[in-house]
Amino acid sequence: MKIAVANGDGIGPEIMAAVLKIFAAAQVPLEYEFVDMGKWVFDKGFSNGMTPEAQRSIESLGLLFKGPMETPKGKGVKSINVTARKTWNTFANKRVFQTLHGVNTVFSKAGIPIDITVVRENIEDTYGGIEHMLTHDVALSRRFITRPGSMQVIKYAFEMARQKKARRISCGHKANIMKLTDGLFLDCFYEVAKDYPDLKADDIIVDDLCMKLVTRPDLFDVVVLTNLQGDIVSDLCAGLVGGLGFAPSANIGDHISIFEAVHGTAPDIAGKNIANPTALLLSGISMLLHVGLTENAGIIENALLYTLESGVHTGDFGDKSKPSVNTTEFADAIISNLGKKPALNAKTVTPNKPGTPTPFKLAQNAMMFSQDNQDVDITGVDMFIDSHEQPMAIAAKCQRHAGVKFKLVNISNRGTQVWPTGSVYTNLVNVYNVRFESLDGGALNQQDVMGLYISLSGNFKICSLEILNAWGGKKSYSLAQGQ
C-alpha cells in the first residue's frame, strides 16, 4: 500500500525520519510518496501551501501522513493544516489521550488513569473562516453548523465508541446560549444515540466539561464536540497526559484521511536532532490501525510503551536525573525494544488485516442535505445597519420604511435589545440589528425583503442582512438578550 508523506516544517523532517525508520525496522508494508506541502511551498507562491502535484498524489492515494506545518504570518493566507482537512472533507478529528507510564503528570502520580478519546467536528463552525469587517469597529464571523455535517461526525463517534467498547459517550456543547447552532448539534447527537442503545449517551455544557476534565478526567471516555470547542478541549486533554508531544491526531474522511502531529514546528530546535517524535509516532500507529496493519501497530506501540516505561526520554519530559537522548537515539531505543511488552497497558497484537485500497475517482462534489417535509415561510428580516445614532432615533426612521407589509419589532446592539425597551447602561457600537417581521403574520417573499432593503438604504448603510425563516410555523431564529 502506498501513502503520501509530507515531512513538514521545522522539526518535521527530523521526527518524520525517526518514525519512518521505526516503521522500516518493524517491517511495515507501506510505500511512501513524498509530497510538497508547508511553509516553503507558501513561500514559492502556492497560496494553499501545497503544489498541484501534491494535491493530485494525495487524492489518488487517499492517505496523508504529515509532520507539523507552519503557516506564514501576516501574508493573508489560510492555515495549511485547516485547508487540508477542509479540502478533503476529513470531517472527524479523532485524538486519543492515554496515561503513558514514564510520562509523569499530576494524575499519573495520583494513580488516576486517563483514557479519553475526543472526536472534534473538523469542517464547520467558526473554522469556516468567513469573516467581514462591517464597520471600522465591528468584525463579523459567521458560524455554520449543519445537520448533514453534524450527523457525519456524530455517527462516526458512536461507531468508534462501540468498536472501542466505550462505557460512555458525551456531547460537549453550549446549547444553553447558542440554542440554534449548538442546539442543532445536540439534537443530532440524541437522534444518532437512538441507534446505539448499548452506549450510555449524555451531554454536558462545555465549560462544565472543562472543569470536570481537570478534576476527574477518569469519568470520561468518548467526547464529541463542535470544531472550536473540540479544538480547545482536545488541547486541554493533551495537557492531562503530558502535553502535545504525546497527542496523536487522525483526521478521518470518507475518501481521504490525514494523520499528523498537532504540535508546533518548534523552529528554535529545528535541525538539532533533539525533538520528541512520540506524537507523530502515535499518529502513525493510529494510521496503521486505520488501514488494518494491526500487528505492526501493536508491536510498535508496545515497543514505544516499553521504552517510555524504561525511563528513556528526550529532553522535554521524563526523569531529569537521568540523561536525555536525542531524536535518533530515541528512535533507536524503540527499535531495539521491538517485540517487547510493557508491564503496564500492553497492547494486544492481532494479525494484520489490511484492506484493499480503493481510491475514489469522484466526478463531482457530493451534495449533503436532509429531506425537509415542512413548509418554510419567510416571516421577516434582520437588517444590520451602520449608525452612531441613539436607538429611539433609529426606530423613528425605521418605522417610516416599514410600509404595509412589515412592522419594526426589535432593535439590538451586540445581541442585546435596546428598543422598544432596554437600558441606558448598555454600551453601544455602531452596528445595530433592526428586526422587521410581517405586519399581519403572513408569509413574505424575497421581493418584499429587497423592497424594504432599498427603502431603508435611503437612511442607512446596510452592512448585512439575514432572512427570518419559520419551518412548520416554528420561528427559526434567535431572540435578542432582553427581548
For the segment 244-266, the average pLDDT, to the nearest whole number, is: 94
The partner residues of 245 in beta bridges, in order of sequence, read: none
Give the per-residue pLDDT at 369: 87
For the segment 392-398, the average pLDDT, to the nearest whole number, is: 97
Query: d(Cα 418, Cα 397) in Å, to the nearest integer?
Result: 15
Are 120 and 83 in contact by the 8 Å Cβ rule? The answer is no
Give the per-residue pLDDT at 440: 87
Q: What is the DSSP string of 30-54?
A: -EEEE--BSHHHHHTT-TTSB-HHH
Give the per-residue pLDDT at 25: 98
Give the per-residue pLDDT at 75: 59
Query: pLDDT category, 43, cuts 50, 70, 90?
Result: confident
Confidence check: pLDDT of 482 > 90: no
For the segment 49-56, the average pLDDT, to the nearest whole number, is: 93
Rama region for 437: left / alpha / beta (φ>0; ψ in -120 to 50; rest): beta
For the segment 424-452, the average pLDDT, to the nearest whole number, is: 95
Burial bucket for residue 226 (CB in 10 Å: 0-12, 13-18, 19+): buried
Describe the strand order of the beta sheet including 2-6 as a list of residue ranges: 31-34, 2-6, 63-66, 257-261, 248-252, 92-98, 115-121, 222-225, 169-173, 201-205
Instruction: Give the amino acid at 68.
Output: P
Give the per-residue pLDDT at 388: 96
Show the beta-strand stretches assigned E in 253-336. Answer: 257-261
Give the per-residue pLDDT at 371: 80
Confidence check: pLDDT of 356 > 60: no
How far is residue 360 CA from its own chain's centroid? Answer: 24
Query: d(Cα 385, Cα 347) in Å, to the nearest integer?
Result: 60
Phi first, then psi: what are they for 179, rounded to 5°?
-70, -25
For the segment 435-460, the average pLDDT, to the nearest whole number, is: 95
Query: d(Cα 401, Cα 398) in Å, to the nearest integer?
Result: 5
Give the per-residue pLDDT at 370: 84
From 13-22, 35-44, 95-104, the region with the lowest mean pLDDT: 35-44
For the segment 92-96, the average pLDDT, to the nearest whole number, is: 97
Which residue reads 528513556 in cell numbers? Answer: 312
Give the per-residue pLDDT at 357: 57
Which residue reads 470536570 in cell numbers? Answer: 212
Hey, what's the cell of 351? Answer: 494479525
Query: d(Cα 226, Cα 323) in Å, to the nearest integer?
Result: 42
User: Over the chain, what is the mean pLDDT?
Assistant: 94
For the segment 330-356, the average pLDDT, to the nearest whole number, is: 91
For the segment 263-276, the average pLDDT, to the nearest whole number, is: 95
Task: Look at strands 139-141 and 406-413 and give their pairing.
Answer: unpaired
Phi first, then psi: what are they for 233, rounded to 5°?
-65, -35
Cis bond before residue 420 (omega within 30° of 0): yes
Residues 6+ apart with CB under 8 A from 197: none
Confidence check: pLDDT of 472 > 90: no
Angle at 38 between CA 35 and CA 44, to 5 degrees: 95
- DSSP H helical ranges for 144-293: 147-164, 181-193, 206-215, 227-240, 278-290
Give the per-residue pLDDT at 79: 82
Confidence check: pLDDT of 359 > 70: no
Compare 303 and 45 and report the one with higher pLDDT: 303
Query: d(Cα 159, Cα 168) in Å, to the nearest integer?
Result: 12
For the segment 442-464, the average pLDDT, to the nearest whole number, is: 95
Instruction: Give the amino acid at 160.
Output: M
The predicted-structure confidence for 182-201, as pLDDT tens digits, reads as follows 999 999 999 999 999 999 99
Query: pLDDT category, 360, cuts 50, 70, 90?
Result: low
Q: Which helix (H) or strand (E) holds 474?
A: strand 474-475
For the segment 397-425, the average pLDDT, to the nearest whole number, is: 96
Phi first, then psi: what are they for 181, rounded to 5°?
-75, -65
Mapping DSSP to helix (H, G, I), strand (E, B) and coil, where does residue 243 land? coil
Compare 178 and 45 and report the one with higher pLDDT: 178
Give the per-residue pLDDT at 456: 97
What letter would DSSP give residue 279?
Answer: H
Query: d(Cα 417, Cα 9) in Å, to the nearest integer?
Result: 48
The predicted-structure confidence for 277-330, as pLDDT tens digits, reads as follows 999 999 999 999 999 999 999 999 999 999 999 999 999 999 888 999 999 999
Query: pLDDT category, 362, cuts 50, 70, 90?
Result: confident
The partner residues of 466 in beta bridges, in order of sequence, read: 382
Give the per-residue pLDDT at 169: 98
Give the per-residue pLDDT at 115: 95
Query: d(Cα 443, Cα 423) in Å, to the nearest integer?
Result: 33
Hey, what's the cell of 75? Answer: 501574508
For the segment 131-157, the average pLDDT, to the nearest whole number, is: 96
The predicted-structure confidence for 107-143, as pLDDT tens digits, reads as follows 999 999 999 999 999 999 998 889 999 999 999 999 9
Instruction: Give the amino acid at 281.
Output: L
- Domains of the chain with bracketed CATH: 1-87+293-366 (no CATH), 92-252 (3.40.718.10), 376-475 (3.30.70.1570)
Give Dmax (Cα) for the chain. 82
The percent of residues in the chain predicted with pLDDT above 70, rounded, is: 98
Confidence check: pLDDT of 68 > 70: yes
Query: d(Cα 412, Cα 482) in Å, to the nearest integer?
Result: 9
Are 120 and 227 in contact by the 8 Å Cβ rule? The answer is yes
Neighbours of 419 (CB within 10 A): 23
Task: Look at strands 431-438 and 416-419 and give their pairing.
Answer: unpaired
Are 10 and 272 in contact by the 8 Å Cβ rule? The answer is no
Confidence check: pLDDT of 355 > 80: no
How far is residue 474 CA from its own chain's centroid? Answer: 31
Are 407 and 185 in contact by the 8 Å Cβ rule? The answer is no
Phi first, then psi: what are they for 363, rounded to 5°?
-90, -25
Query: pLDDT category, 242, cuts 50, 70, 90?
Result: very high
The predicted-structure confidence for 207-218, as pLDDT tens digits, reads as follows 999 999 999 999
Burial bucket for residue 236 (CB in 10 Å: 0-12, 13-18, 19+): middle
